[in-house]
Structure formats: structure tokens, C-alpha cells
A and B are shown apart, each in its own frame.
Chain A
Amino acid sequence: MKFDDKIPIYYQIKNYLYHEMLTGTLNPGDKLPAVRQLAVDLTVNVNTVQRALSEMITEGTIESQRGKGNFVTADTTRLAQLKEQLVMTQLAQVYEQLHALNLTDEEIIASLKRYIEQKGAGQNV
């Protein structure tokens, strides 16, 4: 995978794993690849993978089992929270950018609806 070298790599590894967890490549309770394997797969440093995993263990999205490895949490409530958090982060960016164009909240909602309708119409062709 390609990383954006302007953004801390550990942060991008976390986002990569979140994506794998929320799109079902990694399911609740699944074992994660070994740290060195992840480092090789992503072409990053083992220490950087370790940092990303440590933060995810602290926040409860993955669990470390001594001698067995790291697992996606089986706590689906926690995963639902994670998803909500990621959705809100994405929306916050869009909201800030549209707000910067002097759109009101109502106009932002209306634009978003219009966008989705047009996108849907485009796909039906």
C-alpha cells in the first residue's frame, strides 16, 4: 500500500486496519497478521506497526492475547462506535469545507441530497 509521506505512518496504518475491520476483510474476533508480516505487507517499519497496534489496543478496537497474537475485538458495540467515529471524522471535513464556501446548514443538507440523487441517476444509466 502507498502511504502519504506528509502524515504520520502509524496513523495511516491505524486507518488501514480500521478500514479492513469495518469492510469485513477482518471480522470481529479475527486474528491479525503477525507484526513483522504486517510490516512486510505494508512496507513499513516493525516499530511503526507496533505503535499503531499499541494505540488500537489502548482504545479497545483490538485485543492482545499473550502468546497468541492480536485479535479484532469481538465487542461489536465498540466496533459500531469506531464506525460512527470514522463517519463523523469524514463528515467533519466535508462540513468544514462547505461551510468555508458560506453554505448554511440547510444548504449543505440540500446539496448532499442533490449530490446523492444525481450520483444515483448516473449509476442507473
Chain B
Amino acid sequence: MSNVLAIQGLTYKRNQKLILKNIDLTLETGKIVGLLGENGAGKTTLMRLITGSAQGSGDIMVGDTTTATARKAHVSFSEQLHGFNKNTKISRVVDFYQTVYSDFDLSRYHELADFLQLNGELKLLALSKGMREKLIIALTLARQTDLYLLDEPFGGIDSMSRKKIISSIIQWKPDNATMLISDHYVTEIAPILDEIVVVKDQTIAVHQKTDTIRSESGMDIEDYYESLYAGGVDHD
């Protein structure tokens, strides 16, 4: 199986402070991978390094491209819409995405928007937290690319919105694309994950298949994840 992402010896410092060190991470095509770690562990930073919007030392290869600008074209990252004025209508945001990203597929967006019940006439300021996350998911998945990075798509939203988002991930992830989803609470997404990657102590502490964890440890994924912090599980 080929790889969609290969990171070697990645180290990142911010204001002299070491945030991530010696990260090696390879993801195969077609997987859904959970990126876990405490708040501030560096999950978002790792995603920003992959997209090229942060620069560290080491090698990051997405598909067969290594430069930051070329990588951007192969990665769809769940941007938080901070750059848009609050009075912007959803339909204007969609226009913007269509202009900026050549792989943005409008018919795909409309399918997603119908499924998630997004009304294009609404302004950003009128959106509930759940609605806003749905819009971000629809925009991110409407791009046709190899690697999707979803940064905490379930933060503080109601369970119905969460279920809808999980369902749209299953339905719209292209077969050959890989998706990395960060979260600090894994139970809600555990059934859809092929693998988990845990960021701890500035590096990748664990990268393992979820069904291997279940069959070898007999633990659910949340308990296994928590056991890493209690220091109770041997992982090599």
C-alpha cells in the first residue's frame, strides 16, 4: 500500500520553546486516523506543519511533493473561517473557496450542504457552533484531494450535529484519500478510526491500529489512551 504522508525527523520550536521533536510519521492511503493528545500537546501545530503554514526542520512529504507551496494543493485543512467578516453569507464563503482551490467541487459541496442542512443565505454570525462546524466540514470535504486534516471538528457541539458530521465523513471521504482527525475525546469517533496517533511529550508516543489495540489489550480506545498517561501500558 502506498503512503499519502511521510514525515521524517520533524522538529518545531516557537520562541525558543520546543513544541515538537523528532516526529516520524507515515500514513497509508485510504485510512481514517485519529490524532490524539491533551490540549496544547501540539496536534494543531502538527497539522499546520503538514499544510505548510508553519515551518519546522525535517522532511514532510505529501503524495510526492515536499515543498510547502506544493503540499498545500494536496491537503485540505479544516480552516476556522477566522479570515471572513461576520456578515459574510455562506454562499460568499463558498464562492471564495471555489476561486482559491482548483480542486473545490461545487456539486460535492451542494450534496454535503443538503445532507448537513446548510442554508447558503445565512450569515456567519447567525450560525450556531454546530452549524459552523458543519460548514467547515462541508467546505473541507468538498475539495477533492489526497489528505484531509480535520482539527477538532467535534469541539463543543451537540450530539445530533456530531452524528451528522461523522456520517458525512463516512459518506464523502474518497476511497483513496486519508483523513487525520484530531480530538482529545476519542470515544465518539473510535468506531470510525482505522488507527490512532498519540502526540505526547512533544513527539509521537503511539501509532497503532484500533482493532489491534482492542484485540491485544482488551481495552476500549479511550481507556487505552488514558492508560498512556497513567504510565500503565508498555508501548514500543
| A 37-66 contacts with B by CB, 8 A | 39-40, 43-48, 51
Are A7 and B214 in touch, CB under 8 angstroms?
yes
Chain B residues within 8 Å of A6, by CB: 214, 218-220
- Given contact pairs A5-B214, A36-B170, A47 touches B30 in the complex (Cβ within 8 A): yes
Instruction: Specify which chain B residues have a CB less than 8 angstroms from the CB of A43 in the assembled complex.
Output: 163, 166-167, 170, 191-192
Bound Cα distance from A45 to B166, whole angstroms:
10
Residues 200-215 of chain B, each 1 if its beta carbon lies under 8 Å from chain A, else 0: 0000000000110011
A48-B167 in contact (CB<8A): no
Whether the pair B211, A3 counts as a contact (CB closer than 8 A) is: no
Instruction: Give per-residue flags for A5-16: 1 if the beta carbon is below 8 A from chain B beta carbons, else 0.
Output: 111111100000
From B175, B214, B218, give the contact of A46 (CB < 8 A). B175
**A5 in contact with B220 given A45-B191, A45-B193 (CB within 8 Å):** yes
Of B194, B214, B218, B222, which contacts A45 at CB under 8 A? B194
Given contacts A36-B170, A45-B32, A45-B170, contact A5 B192 (CB under 8 A): no
Residues of B within 8 A of A5 (CB): 187, 190-191, 214, 220-222
Please count how many residues in chain B sit with their CB below 8 Å of the partner chain's CB atoms. Answer: 25
Interface string of B164-201 (1 = CB under 8 A from A): 00110011010100000000000100111110000000
Whole-angstrom distance between the alpha carbons of A44 and B32 in the complex?
10
Bound-state CA distance A6–B32 (Å) is: 19
Question: How far in angstroms is the closest Cβ of chain B from A15?
Answer: 14
Interface size, chain A (Cβ < 8 Å): 19
Is B143 positioned at the interface, with any CB of A under 8 Å from its CB? Answer: no
Within 8 Å of chain A (Cβ to Cβ): is B31? yes
Interface residues of B in 14-38 (CB under 8 A from A): 30-32
Residues of B close to A45: CB separation below 8 A: 32, 170, 191-194
Chain B residues, CB < 8 A from A40: 167, 170-171
Cα A11 to Cα B173 with chains together (Å): 23
Q: Give every chain A residue within 8 A of B222 (Cβ-Cβ).
A: 5
A62 CB, min distance to chain B CBs, angstroms: 20
Please, which residues of chain B bring their CB within 8 A of the CB of A11?
Answer: 211
Partner-A contacts on B (CB < 8 A): 30-32, 163, 166-167, 170-171, 173, 175, 187, 190-194, 210-211, 214-215, 218-222
Q: Can you add 15 more A-B contacts, CB < 8 Å, to A4-B220, A40-B171, A46-B175?
A: A5-B187, A5-B190, A6-B218, A6-B219, A8-B214, A9-B210, A9-B214, A36-B171, A43-B163, A43-B166, A43-B192, A44-B192, A45-B191, A45-B192, A47-B30
Residues of A within 8 A of B (CB): 3-11, 36, 39-40, 43-48, 51
Jot down 17 A-B pairs with beta carbons below 8 A, ordered by A.
Answer: A4-B220, A5-B187, A5-B190, A5-B220, A6-B214, A7-B214, A9-B191, A40-B167, A43-B163, A44-B170, A45-B32, A45-B191, A45-B192, A45-B193, A46-B173, A47-B194, A48-B194
